[in-house]
Structure 1
Amino acid sequence: MDTNVSSHDHQDQEEYVLLDLDSVSGSLDIPPNAKYVLTGLNTLNPLLIIDDKLKLVGEYEETIGTCIVFTEEDTPVVHEETGPSEVNLFSGTKIIDSSQPPTKQVKPSCQLHKVLKFRIAPDSETQAG
């Protein structure tokens, strides 16, 4: 009974997969707000259908080593006023410098174990652009 519980726990762990459309992006014009359906993630060849007309077939590739996904956020440039309170009325105050462009802050988001690379399905109803 304990083995079923531990294998069930293993199945509930999250696994992140990168959807790689590089091989088809040059030949297709996929709008950023296109509707899509992704099916068969637990099969060897998942399907991605975009706008109910373009069919792509995926194939998993294992990553080599550690593959980490990062997110990037704009953060404003902040200056903290320091000095004796007699001289500086704003001591300890943080002031956002609007004259400086925001900087990029990069944070790790997740670790990947697989990349799902897509190609146009041979029986796709839509022709490449």
Structure 2
Amino acid sequence: MERDSDQIIKAMDDDDDDEEEDEEFVLLDLGNVCVQRDIPANAPYVLSGLDTLNPMLVIGDNLKMIGEYEESIGTCFVFSESECGPVVHEEKGPSEANLVMGKCIIDSKQASSKKVKPVARLHKVLKFRVIHEDDIKSATDKTKDS
């Protein structure tokens, strides 16, 4: 019997064969910025300089961040999540509560379930930190001194 992780890797390898382009996925790690600042889910953003050592991320009008690439230890898997309907159990035989065979039972106390599907795997993490005015001034001072 295959382990779940082996099945995920196999499914993702099969997906890789179908693609003609060589895609590379990167995890954007905002650290605790999301906790410190109130960032709406649909806030506009600009991500630039992905092919440089320090990409920039601007969220909204006033949150500017600089990133640095880090190699991940091992492989990170990215999953998508979607809602599933309630689990339906079919009665196999008569019981005290249900004397009719073949009747379907939906447990109203059961929490809603979610379907998880592998989307991508990645080896790089792009860790961002907030840029402060002092950081910008010190960077410009260093370039002037050079």
TM-score range, shorter chain: 0.5 to 0.7
Q: Which has the higher helix share?
A: 2
In the other structure, the counterpart of 2:31 is 22
How far apart are residue 77 of structure 1 and its match?
1.1
- Residues 1-129 of structure 1: pairs in structure 2 closer than 5 A: 12-75=21-84, 76-80=86-90, 82=92, 91=102, 97-123=107-133
Q: Which moved more, 1:96-105 or 1:31-40?
A: 96-105
Give 1:69 shift: 1.5
Which amino acid is the alignment partner of residue 38 of structure 1? L
TM-score by length of 1: 0.67
Deviation sequence 1:6-62 (CA, Å, 0-9, x none): xxxxxx311111111114233322122211111111111111111122110011111
Structure richer in strand, relative to its length:
1
Structure 2: tracts of 5 or more residues without a match: 1-20, 94-98, 135-146
Instruction: Give the drift of 1:111.
Output: 0.3
Unaligned runs of 5+ in 1: 1-11, 125-129
Q: CA RMSD in A?
A: 2.8
- Give the fraction of aligned pairs with identical amino acids, expressed as a percent: 58
Number of aligned positions between the proteins: 110
Misfit runs of 4+, over 4 Å: 93-99
Bigger relative CO (Cα 8 Å, ≥ 6 apart): 1
The separation in 2 between residues aligned to 1:61 and 1:117, in whole angstroms, is 7
